[in-house]
Structure 1
């Protein structure tokens, strides 16, 4: 993997942004039907930056589905303008209520599969997932036969933003350790939200029956993939911190994330 590079000039008070150089994929990989699903809520400033970076990648088959939960800051309208700017490559799914990240992803992934996507990527709208890793995620998926490739913060070579304080690092590390202990899943970054799936893997997971609504959605997807025989790969990424906007993590989401692994283990055992 090409080494991430940082801009030579930046304000001393501004966070350093790591910008990986995208790898060049050969044909037919570079024209594969890849759809990036991006859930949004109050991301009007970040979304145009993300979409234009995705559109600049040398991936002619790349499409974007924006799933907006009726954002009060006008993110939905911004997304509609991007769909006009990139006709046929950007589409918008407007939802009337904000009922969680998991439900938004299920809606967006379902739309992507219905529209014929061969591969489906997940990305946050807050620019924490550097776009330059997308070709490498796709290339790794195609070259290894994996069902999903995860952009991991916790495999060798992965890293976190310098803006993350000790408390946040410890909480994230504890959450991963807790989930892996409860579910016995061989994934280093089990709470990761940056990944590429094969369409066939998503069909095996049965998206319609996913129960998690918040960030526990990531855990449930990884656990189902593991228990249902999908090959899981991880590649190292640098995880950025958002600069604009606020985190959507609240007490209810954190509680679900703590309880969901226990429920997942019981439900999957009953299914078997």
Structure 2
């Protein structure tokens, strides 16, 4: 067992899952991997089971059905805390997050960060293959989050992250109900509100080339109104 585990939530990622798992295990720093699959009908979980024979540090949790990114990560967080991992990562299955950057996030936490964020915007706009409309939406969403919450994080909706276990242990994970961008914002805001040290590590984000995006207008709306709810709860000391 290694001290870091990479949580990869999946739904219909058969085109990517084998390659991303092999890429994570090929890194110079050894990480365990936990795939949280929402009972993908395309056989994603079956592929992971085949790979478990090759990689003893590969773990699989299969949920009953598609329940959203946020709840998949919460499921993974609880599993990782129970199994005493010190460094707990979020990473997409579709190679939009470069596995080589896992080591940089890991090193940032080793050097004092409690939460290391793989940031698309801390040194400008580092996004490849996104249409301009989506880049602007994502960039200004983070500006909106900063204005409402007071956080200085440049990439508030980032999903490539390393947490120290103590951060997740400080958060009541049963109260996390958001599923998309709002989930990512809430986790950062709760970390910020609890006084932890947050560091942004610049990365280059590359949009997926295989499989389908899970982004929707409902997820974006959840984030817009969810930020206001979070700030209101903080003002009422109910966060």
Q: Is the 8 A contact 1:101 1:215 kept in 2?
A: no
Find the counterpart in structure 2 of residue 102 from structure 1.
70
Q: How many residue pairs were aligned?
A: 238
Can you give the 5+ residue segments of structure 1 that lack an aligned partner in the other structure?
A: 1-30
2:156 aligned counterpart, secondary structure: coil
Are 1:154 and 2:121 an aligned pair? yes
Q: Show the 5 A alignment for 1:51-200.
A: 51-60=21-30, 62-87=31-56, 89-143=57-111, 145-156=112-123, 159-161=126-128, 163-200=129-166
The separation in 2 between residues aligned to 1:207 and 1:83, in whole angstroms, is 28
1:151 aligned counterpart, secondary structure: strand
Find the counterpart in structure 1 of residue 226 from structure 2.
260
1:222 aligned counterpart, secondary structure: helix
Which range moves more in the overlay, 149-158 or 110-119? Answer: 149-158
Larger radius of gyration: 1
The separation in 1 between residues aligned to 2:160 and 2:86, in whole angstroms, is 17
1:79 aligned counterpart, secondary structure: helix
The separation in 1 between residues aligned to 2:17 and 2:117, in whole angstroms, is 22
Segments of 4+ moved more than 6 angstroms: none
2:84 aligned counterpart, secondary structure: coil
2:200 aligned counterpart, secondary structure: strand
Find the counterpart in structure 2 of residue 40 from structure 1.
10
The separation in 2 between residues aligned to 1:221 and 1:135, in whole angstroms, is 21
Q: TM-score, normalised by structure 2?
A: 0.95
Find the counterpart in structure 2 of residue 21 from structure 1.
none
Which range moves more in the overlay, 165-174 or 181-190? Answer: 165-174
Can you give the 5+ residue segments of structure 2 that lack an aligned partner in the other structure?
A: none
Q: TM-score, normalised by structure 1?
A: 0.84
Are 1:237 and 2:203 an aligned pair? yes
